[in-house]
Amino acid sequence: MINDKAQMTNEKIRMANEKLEQLHFPPFDLKRLLKTVFAPQKGEKICILIDLEDFGKIKDFSFLNDTGLTIQRYAHDVFYQGLKNGVMDQLGLEDGRMFAYRITGGSNLDLTDEAYDVQGLRLSLEKDIYSQFDIILCISTFSATAPLTASAKQYGFRGATLHGINKIILETGLSVDYEIVSVQAEKLRQGLTRAEFVEVDFEVRGQNETLKIFLDGQEAQKSHGICRGKEPAVANLPAGEVYFVPTGAEGKFPMKYDDGTLGWIKVKNGRIVSVSLIEGKADTIQEHLKKIEDDPVTGELGELGFGTQILPFSGQDIQDEKILGTCHIATGRSDHLGGHLTPDKFRHKINATHDDILFTPHKTPEIKLSRVRMMRDGEMTTLVENYQPSEYMKSLL
Q: What is the mean pLDDT of residues 56-60?
A: 95
Helix axes 178-192, 30-38, angle to 10 degrees: 40
Q: Is the N-terminal amide bond of 238 cis, ω within 30° of 0?
A: yes
Q: How many residues does the chain have?
A: 397
Q: Is the pLDDT of residue 327 over 90?
A: yes
Look at strands 207-214 and 248-256 and give their pairing. antiparallel
Return the amino acid letter for 256: K
Query: Average pLDDT of the chain?
Result: 94
d(CA 302, CA 247): 9
Chain-centre distance for alpha carbon 110: 16
Q: What is the reported pLDDT for 4? A: 43
Q: Model-level pTM?
A: 0.93
Q: pLDDT tens digits for 187-246? A: 999 999 999 999 999 999 999 999 999 999 999 999 999 999 889 999 999 999 999 999
pLDDT digits (tens, 9 = 90+) for 332-359: 999 999 999 999 999 999 999 999 999 9
Instruction: Give the pLDDT mean for 283-292.
Output: 97
Amino acid 18: pLDDT:
61
